[in-house]
Amino acid sequence: MISAVGRALLVSLVLLAPFKWARAADYISLLDHVAAAPGFTHLPYADPDAPKGGSITQSVVGDFDNFNPFILRGTAPVSVFNLWQGLLKASASEAGTAYCDLAKSVDLSADGLTLSFTLHKSARFSDGVPVTAADVAWTFHTLINQGAPFYRSYYAGIASIDVIDPTHIVFKLKPGSSRTLPLNIGEAYILPAHFWAGKDFTVPVTTPPPGSGPYQISAFALGRSITYTHVKHWWAADLPADRGLYNFTTEKFEYFRDANVAFQAFKAGQVDFRLENAAKSWASDYGFPAVQKGAVVRRLVPYSLPVGMYGLYFNVRRPVFANRDVRHALVLAFDFQWMNRVLFYHSYVRSESFFANSDMASTGLPTPGELALLAPFKSSLPASLFNEPFSLPVTDGSGYNLPALEQAMALLNKAGWHVRHFKLVNAAGQQMRFEILVDNPTFDRILIPYVADLKLLGIDASVRSTDEATYERRLNDFDFDMTQFDYPQSEFPGTEQAGYWGCKAAHMAGSSNLTGICAPAIDAMIAALIAAPTHHQAKTAVHALDRLLLHEWIVVPWWHSNSLRIAYWNRFGMPTVTDSPGAVPRVGFDLNNWWYDPARAARSKALMGGR
C-alpha cells in the first residue's frame, strides 16, 4: 500500500552479501537501518501528543459469528485483532522491521537460530491477568496443533519453545528455516491461555476474549455490530511502540449485508470513514452535499506495497480445469481493457505477476540463476516459460474480443473440446459447465460480461453469490469451481508460499492452497526460497516461482491500483506529514494514529446546518 519506505529499504533490496539481521534490544529488522533511533520514545509515524477521546465508526459488508479468528470454523470480525498484541509490533512504515511491544527486549543469535524474548513484567490482559511466557508458549503450541492449517506451515521452522521463567522465553529455530521466521514469531498475537482453559480451541467462541491490546469488546450483536472501548489505564499506553497510537475511546463497526446500504449510512453521517473499492462509485457517487460543502473529505492515497495477485482462481481439483490449455483459454476470454474503460474509468493496472508492484515480480526472460533452478524440471514445463516473456492479451477496449476468443478456441480444441450445436463439448458430448463463486453481488457487473464472452465459446458458466459464512465454508472445503480471491504478498516472501502453492497444502482441507496446484517444480522453488542464504538468491527463487505460477494459468488475473480511495467525515486529526524517515505509513494512512478533533467535528456539523 504506499510510498516512503526510506533509504534503508532501498539498500536492503539490493543486498548481495550473506543474509543477516539488524538487531538490537528493542527491535529486529531485515534492513540495514531502521527509522526509529536507539532509545526512541515513539514511532516516527505517531504523534506522542495526540489527544485521546472521541469515537470512530466504520462499516463492514458481511457478518460475524465468532471471536476466534485463528480457526477454520465460524466467521470472525477482522477488527477483533484490536484485542491482542504481539511480542513485537510490525512497523507501519518500514518493511521487515518490528519493534518491541509485549516484549521488553529481543535477542537473535548471530546464526539466526536462537530467538529470545524478555516480557514486560507489567504486561496485563484486559481482565487483569498477567501476560507470561507460558501464554506465549501456549499460543504457539495451540496455533500449530489446533489452529487453521496455515499456522502449521507458517511456524514449521520452530524446533523448540522453552519457557525459562514467567518473563523469559526462547525459541530454537531449525537450520534452513525461512529468513522471515523471527519476524513471523515476534509479530504473532499472544492469546490468554486462561481464557481457553477447559475449552476446545477449534470451536468458535461468542464470549469476547480478553487481550493485552488497547481495546476490549464492550458491546456487540452478532452479525450486526461490535464496539471496542479503550482499556482504562492500559498497561502499554506509554511504551515507545504504542505512544501516540490508538487514540479513540471507542471504535465501532456496523455490519451491513448490502454495500449500497453501507454507503448510504456513510452519506448520512452514521459511518465516519470509508475505504472505497468501486471505481465507478468513486467517479459518480461522491457529489452529495457533505462533499460539496467540505464536511466530507475525499483523498487518493498513494499505494506502493506489493499487491499479490487478485483474480478468479481455478480449482484444478475439478476435472474441467485439470488441463493447463483449458485454463489458458479461459484467461484469454477475459477482456480487461473493455472493463477498465467502461466499468472502472481507467483506474486500474492489469496484474501480470503473483508479486505485482514489487521487485519480486518476474520480468522478461529467466535469468541464468533462474534457469539453474528450473533446469531439473525443464522437460515438464512449457517451452514458452523459457522462450517468451509472459504477457496477457491486450484488446482495443471496444468490447470486440474476437481475436482473443479465436486463440482461446484453438487452445480448447487442442485440449479436446469442440463446438457442437453451439455448445462446447468434450469427447463424451458433455458441455463445459462451471460455477463462479463470489461473496458479494457487486461482482455481477464484472462477471456477467465475462460469462457472456464464455457463452460465445459454447461454455455454460454461471455466477453464484453467497453470504460470507457460506463462502468461507465452501472455500475451506474446496467446494467451488472458480472463485474470486486475493493472495497478499510482502517485500520478503517466505514460508507462507508453501501454504499458498505447496503440494502438502493442496491436500489439506482448510489450507490456503485454494487452487489445488501441486507441482514438484513449484515445491522446489519454495524450498529454494526458504533456504536462500542471501537476499539476491531469495529474489531469484521468487522470480522462478512467479514464472511457474503464471505459466500454470491457475488464475484469471484481475487488476490492482497504485492508490487507495478514502473518504471520511472531517472530524479527525492526524500527524503532520514530514520527510523524516519512517514518518509516512506505507499504506499512506493509518487510522491507528488518527484522533477525534472536536473543533473539526463542530465545523463539519455547522456546514451541514447542525446535523
Q: With bands split at pLDDT 50, 70 and 90, how would you rate the model's confidence at 293?
A: very high
The mean pLDDT of 229-248, rounded to a whole number, is 97
pLDDT value of residue 551: 98
Q: CA angle, corner 585, sides to 582 and 591, nearest 5?
A: 135
Higher-pLDDT residue of 24 and 482 is 482
The mean pLDDT of 318-346, rounded to a whole number, is 97
Torsion angles phi and psi, residue 75, rounded to 5: -120, 115
- 232, with CB counted inside 10 A (0-12, 13-18, 19+), is exposed
pLDDT value of residue 1: 26
Look at residue 17 and tell me whether its pLDDT is greater than 50.
no
Question: What percentage of the chain carries pLDDT values higher than 70?
Answer: 96
Look at residue 7 and tell me whether its pLDDT is greater than 60.
no
Quote the mean pLDDT of the chain.
93
- Single-letter amino acid code for the residue at 295: A
The mean pLDDT of 93-104, rounded to a whole number, is 94
Look at residue 8 and tell me whether its pLDDT is greater than 70.
no
Q: Where in the chain is the domain with CATH 3.10.105.10?
A: 309-560
Q: With bands split at pLDDT 50, 70 and 90, how would you rate the model's confidence at 3?
A: very low
CATH code linked to domain 309-560: 3.10.105.10
The 10s digit of each residue's pLDDT in 542-572 is 999 999 999 999 999 999 998 999 999 999 9
pLDDT value of residue 194: 98
The mean pLDDT of 27-37, rounded to a whole number, is 84
Look at residue 25 and tell me whether its pLDDT is greater than 90.
no
- 3-state secondary structure (DSSP) of residue 538: helix
The 10s digit of each residue's pLDDT in 362-411 is 999 999 999 999 999 999 999 999 999 999 999 999 999 999 999 999 99
Q: With bands split at pLDDT 50, 70 and 90, how would you rate the model's confidence at 23?
A: low
What are the residues whose beta carbons fall under 8 Å from the beta carbon of 98, sequence distance 6 or more? 27, 28, 29, 86, 88, 89, 90, 91, 183, 186, 187
- All 3 cell numbers of residue 351? 496484474
The mean pLDDT of 247-272, rounded to a whole number, is 96
Q: Where in the chain is the domain with CATH 3.40.190.10?
A: 7-196
Q: How many CB atoms lie within 10 A of CB 1?
A: 19
The 10s digit of each residue's pLDDT in 112-157 is 999 999 999 999 999 999 999 999 999 999 999 999 999 999 999 9
Rounded Cα–Cα distance for residues 599 and 572 (Å): 9
pLDDT value of residue 22: 59
Scanning the structure block, which residue is given the C-alpha cell 481493457?
Answer: 337
Q: pTM above 0.95? A: no
Q: With bands split at pLDDT 50, 70 and 90, how would you rate the model's confidence at 609?
A: confident
DSSP-derived letter for residue 398 is S
CATH match of 7-196 with 3.40.190.10: yes
- All 3 cell numbers of residue 468? 460470507
Q: With bands split at pLDDT 50, 70 and 90, how would you rate the model's confidence at 20?
A: low
Higher-pLDDT residue of 36 and 180 is 180
- All 3 cell numbers of residue 66? 465468532
The mean pLDDT of 286-304, rounded to a whole number, is 94
Look at residue 2 and tell me whether its pLDDT is greater than 80.
no
